[in-house]
């Protein structure tokens, strides 16, 4: 059958010979494609390479004595047409003007396996041992939507966490022409904390669950709501003010959901007392900037005890500091 065809390296092929085009239903060995001058890139906002996952994949390759499933790829030109930003393995952008664009394939599913294979084969090469082969194929459907294929391929093989869904929302928003500014901010901040905390900072103290993100990936209206930047610039000021106090070793607190949740609770309380939102925001900005290094360090080192959780102890400390602040103002 056509979809079982594996193209093996042709040692007699001339380097200048026109490469065979990878088509739907064909499986090529990785070495064949590299020999035909093909190269591989990635979608810029796809999930970042996780070193721990790479180690697990290396162990899997060794246990199975080879790669047991091919890498799913899509031509770079198709991804660019979908409005996705691409980059080469060295981080250089891939554009319509990139030389030999038709020879660049974008890994949709399998970038951790491909990186594992690369690292493992490099080690085997140094040891003079036989390297393992990899295999590549295109989606086995016509008229596919790249962001949808990216989402479904990865969620089917390795369930995504919150960060992965933010990545998917970014890809979909770019394709739909929806603003990505807020989504990009959430992804960046989640790298040093949690996606729950990152969402909370720009979502009124509330997180967007994985379920919500999954729905938004197929519902344009819901995605527009998540990506809405109406109060984004104002909300960011709270994070930036907190970052002036929580820095260095205490910066980890910025990635804890308890801090933005507490801040927005205070904001709502001030507004209910008939304070204008802008005035309440300015008051909280001043408070956050004035917490100071000593208090920030104390909060970052709080641990649960027999009677209270860590979050409750942090909230109690923040309430104490805010009460003192209000007496002075």
- Nearest Cα to 115, choosing from 61, 68, 188, 79? 61
When mean pLDDT is compared across 150-159, 164-173, 313-322, the lowest value belongs to 150-159
Per-residue pLDDT at 157 exceeds 90: no
Rounded mean pLDDT of 218-235?
90
What gap in Å lies between CA 238 and CA 266, rounded to an integer? 12
- Nearest Cα to 200, choosing from 190, 191, 213, 192? 190
Rounded mean pLDDT of 279-291?
95
Amino acid 118: pLDDT: 93
Rounded mean pLDDT of 180-200?
90
Q: How far is CA 313 from the centre of its chain?
A: 31
What gap in Å lies between CA 274 and CA 292, rounded to an integer? 29
Looking at every residue in the chain, the average pLDDT score rounds to 86
What gap in Å lies between CA 42 and CA 154, rounded to an integer? 14
pLDDT digits (tens, 9 = 90+) for 256-274: 999 999 999 999 999 999 9
When mean pLDDT is compared across 143-152, 184-193, 246-255, the lowest value belongs to 143-152
Q: Where are the beta strands (DSSP E) in the chain?
A: 5-7, 26-29, 39-43, 71-75, 86-88, 93-94, 104-109, 135-137
- Nearest Cα to 171, choosing from 104, 99, 74? 74
Ramachandran sector of residue 308 (left: φ over 0; alpha: ψ -120 to 50; beta: rest): beta
Rounded mean pLDDT of 74-91?
87
**Percentage of residues of the chain with pLDDT beyond 70:** 90
What gap in Å lies between CA 316 and CA 291, rounded to an integer? 14
pLDDT digits (tens, 9 = 90+) for 106-129: 998 888 999 999 999 999 999 999
Torsion (CA) 241, 246, 251, 254 in degrees, nearest 10: -50
Contacts for 248 with CB less than 8 Å, ≥ 6 apart: none
Rounded mean pLDDT of 176-201?
90
Determine the length of the chain: 329
Amino acid 14: pLDDT: 46
Per-residue pLDDT at 15 exceeds 50: no
Domain residue ranges in the chain? 1-159, 232-328
Q: Rg for the chain (alpha carbons), in Å?
A: 25
């Amino acid at each position: 059958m056509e979809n079982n065809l594996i193209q093996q390296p042709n040692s007699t092929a001339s380097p200048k010979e026109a490469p065979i085009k990878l088509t739907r239903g064909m499986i090529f060995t990785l070495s064949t494609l590299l020999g035909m001058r093909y190269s591989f890139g990635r979608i810029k906002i796809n999930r970042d390479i996780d070193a721990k996952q790479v180690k697990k994949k290396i162990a899997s390759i060794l246990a199975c004595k080879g790669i047991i499933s091919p890498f799913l790829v899509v031509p770079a030109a198709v991804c660019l047409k979908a409005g996705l930003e691409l980059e080469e393995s060295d981080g250089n952008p891939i554009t319509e003007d990139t030389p030999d664009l038709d020879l660049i394939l974008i890994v949709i599913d399998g970038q951790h396996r491909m990186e594992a294979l690369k690292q493992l084969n490099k080690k085997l090469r140094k040891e003079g041992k036989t390297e393992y082969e990899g295999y590549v194929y295109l989606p086995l459907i016509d008229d596919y939507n790249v962001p949808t294929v990216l989402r479904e391929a990865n969620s089917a093989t390795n369930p995504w966490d919150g960060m992965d869904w933010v990545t998917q929302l970014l890809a979909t928003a770019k394709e739909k022409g929806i603003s990505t500014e807020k989504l990009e901010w959430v992804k960046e901040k989640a790298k040093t904390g949690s996606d729950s905390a990152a969402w909370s900072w720009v979502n009124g103290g509330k997180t967007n669950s994985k379920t919500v993100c999954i729905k938004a990936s197929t519902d344009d209206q819901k995605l527009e709501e998540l990506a809405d930047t109406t109060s984004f610039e104002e909300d960011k000021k709270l994070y930036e003010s907190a970052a002036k106090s929580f820095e260095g070793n205490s910066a980890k607190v910025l990635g804890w959901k308890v801090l933005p949740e507490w801040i927005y609770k205070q904001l709502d309380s001030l507004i209910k007392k008939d304070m204008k939102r802008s005035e309440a925001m300015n008051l909280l900005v001043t408070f956050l900037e004035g917490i100071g290094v000593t208090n920030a360090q104390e909060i970052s080192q709080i641990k649960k005890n027999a009677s209270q959780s860590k979050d409750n102890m942090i909230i109690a400390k923040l309430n104490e500091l805010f009460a003192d602040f209000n007496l002075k103002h």
